[in-house]
Homo-oligomer: A and B are copies of this chain.
């Protein structure tokens, strides 16, 4: 059984989809997949609803400006003030392509390990209560330990 790791650095809809399609493909082939969410990628793990937590002014500001969860992310290109992302979502629905939320939930169901980078959480002022349940928390050493045994290690 191969081990595969992905550093999910970006929050973009297109990059996150690519990441999850690779992860789910790998799981389907029987591989062991770990996705390490860091920096902007952490936003993919945020709960959709606002969670009340104590924060500094700066952390509140960052929190407000960043997307809350997979359903709020935009395309990295052709977003055009939201129009491009909206059009892409409609066309994906018509073509019966899974949404990013569905891809992420499938990944979890198939057993992919989601790890939130604790150092990035600190920098961006994101707290555990704000992130999806049923994920793990760790730092770069954990990532390196897994990736060292990985046959495929991607930074997305």
> In whole angstroms, what is the CA distance A25 to B151 when docked?
20
Residues of the B chain whose Cβ atoms lie less than 8 Å from the Cβ of A119: 21, 97
Q: Interface stretch among A45-53, A55-63, A107-115?
A: A55-63
Chain A interface secondary structure, helix, strand, loop or mixed? Answer: helix
Q: Is the CB of A62 within 8 A of B39?
A: no
**A31 at interface, CB cutoff 8 A:** yes
Q: Is the CB of A140 within 8 A of B7?
A: no
- Per-residue 0/1 for A3-17: is the Cβ within 8 Å of any B Cβ (1 yes, 0 no)? 010010101001100
**A54 at interface, CB cutoff 8 A:** no
Q: Is the CB of A122 within 8 A of B97?
A: yes
> In whole angstroms, what is the CA distance A37 to B88 when docked?
19
Could you tell me how many residues of chain A have their Cβ less than 8 Å away from some Cβ of chain B?
Answer: 56
**A2 at interface, CB cutoff 8 A:** yes
Q: Is the CB of B15 within 8 A of A9?
A: yes
> In whole angstroms, what is the CA distance A65 to B78 when docked?
8
> In whole angstroms, what is the CA distance A91 to B123 when docked?
7
Q: Is the CB of B31 within 8 A of A14?
A: no
Closest to A149 in B: B151
Residues of the B chain whose Cβ atoms lie less than 8 Å from the Cβ of A26: 144
**A135 at interface, CB cutoff 8 A:** no
What are the 5 closest A-B residue pairs judged by CB atoms, nearest first? A25-B140, A154-B155, A147-B152, A58-B91, A148-B151
Given A59-B91, A88-B123, 16 more A-B residue pairs with CB atoms under 8 Å apart are A9-B18, A11-B77, A18-B39, A22-B140, A25-B139, A25-B140, A26-B144, A40-B77, A58-B91, A58-B94, A61-B87, A62-B91, A91-B123, A144-B152, A147-B152, A155-B156
